[in-house]
Amino acid sequence: MSSSTDFVLAIEDLTVSFDGFKAIDNLNLYVDKNELRVIIGPNGAGKTTLLDMICGKTRASAGSIKFKNEEMTTLPEYARVRKGIGRKFQTPSIYENLSVFQNLEVSFPKGRSVIGAIFFKCTDEVLAKVDSVAKEIGLLETLHTEAGLLSHGQKQWLEIGMLLMQEPELLMLDEPIAGMSTRERDLTAELLKRISNNRSVIVIEHDMEFVKKIAHKVTVMHQGKILAEGSMDKVQNDPAVIDVYLGH
Ligand code: ADP
Ligand code: MG
């Protein structure tokens, strides 16, 4: 319905069809301010497609996506970024030949292009922001390292940092710990918990140990719909969830 809500994200009756196949089928989802929500579900459930629709990469066939009470479905991707929706894709899109510092600096909202931003005179504001983000993502010691030389995990954190430079109020991450070592996974769990102290975060993840560590609430998707939702305990003991996902 079109009523006003306190949710950061309110999705209602959302549907997308690809040649008649409904990858997202009449889905409702509500995310609170400062909530860390994890979405799980079998391959092909529609998890990535849902994030694509929230960030504007894929247009809805029907339904509503409200971000802070404002309808997003008609807005292009860049406009949603400006409204405060940040999205991390599975493969990091960092500039390998720039330093960590430069990668963060070019992500400051005033730097519109790589070239423009490199020659953009560093203001104290930008420097302070780069510093605080680098600290948050654990890369303060590697600020002047070329990004291409970072470990796999550090590259993932750098991309999260690049998103944080824009101060998103909703940050979405698709399988952020894939390929990470145990130690990197633990650090990422801590990072995501810190990040969600002052913004909402949606994470798609398969690793149930990791999900258990970070999730406030878990949403289980299946065939473009929501199969179950609630605490980790609740969904883990739900027979329908065990049947389609956890039992395999
Ligand atoms: P998940 O991330 O949960 O594994 P996806 O969202 O990637 O699932 O995919 C959900 C379903 O939608 C799959 O059957 C996939 O093949 C289909 N799909 C996704 N994107 C497209 C597209 N652009 N065109 C056609 N089918 C698509
Ligand atoms: Mg996916």
Instruction: Transcribe 163-201 into DSSP letters.
Output: HHTT--SEEEEESTTTT--HHHHHHHHHHHHHHTTSSEE
pLDDT of amino acid 239: 95
Whether the Cβ atoms of residue 3 and residue 201 lie closer than 8 Å to each other:
no
pLDDT of amino acid 6: 85
C-alpha torsion angle, residues 120, 122, 128, 134 (rounded to 10): 60
pTM greater than 0.85 (yes/no): yes
- Which residues have a Cβ under 8 Å from the Cβ of 228 and sit 6 or more positions away? 219, 220, 234, 235, 238, 240, 241
pLDDT of amino acid 1: 47
Candidates 219, 216, 190; CA nearest to 204 is 219
Rounded-to-integer distance, Cα 245 and Cα 226, Å? 13
- What protein residues have CB closer than 5 angstroms to ion ligand 2? 47-48
Nearest CA to ligand 1 atom 27: 18
Rounded-to-integer distance, Cα 11 and Cα 28, Å? 5
Nearest CA to ligand 1 atom 5: 46
Q: Which stretches of 22-151 are DSSP H helices? A: 47-55, 77-83, 100-106, 114-118, 124-136
Nearest CA to ligand 1 atom 23: 18
Rounded-to-integer distance, Cα 47 and Cα 41, Å? 7
* Ligand 1 interacting residues, C-beta cut-off 6 A: 18, 23, 41, 43-49
- Which residues have a Cβ under 8 Å from the Cβ of 181 and sit 6 or more positions away? 153
pLDDT of amino acid 76: 97
Q: Determine the distance separating the centroid of ligand 2 and the alpha carbon of 100, expressed in angstroms.
A: 28
pLDDT of amino acid 178: 92
- Please report, for the chain, the start and end positions of each structural domain, with discontinuous segments joined by +: 85-165
Using most ligand atoms within 8 A of CB, pick from 49, 55, 173, 203 the residue to mutate for ligand 1: 49
Ligand nearest the Cα atom of residue 39: 1
Residue 174, strand partner residues: 204
Mean pLDDT, each 10-residue run in order, the chain (248 residues): 76 97 98 97 97 97 98 96 90 91 89 54 82 96 97 96 96 95 96 96 96 97 97 95 88
Ligand nearest the Cα atom of residue 41: 1
Whether the Cβ atoms of residue 32 and residue 170 lie closer than 8 Å to each other:
no
Nearest CA to ligand 1 atom 21: 18
pLDDT of amino acid 111: 45
pLDDT of amino acid 190: 97
Q: Determine the distance separating the centroid of ligand 1 and the alpha carbon of 47, expressed in angstroms.
A: 8
Whether the Cβ atoms of residue 172 and residue 81 lie closer than 8 Å to each other:
no
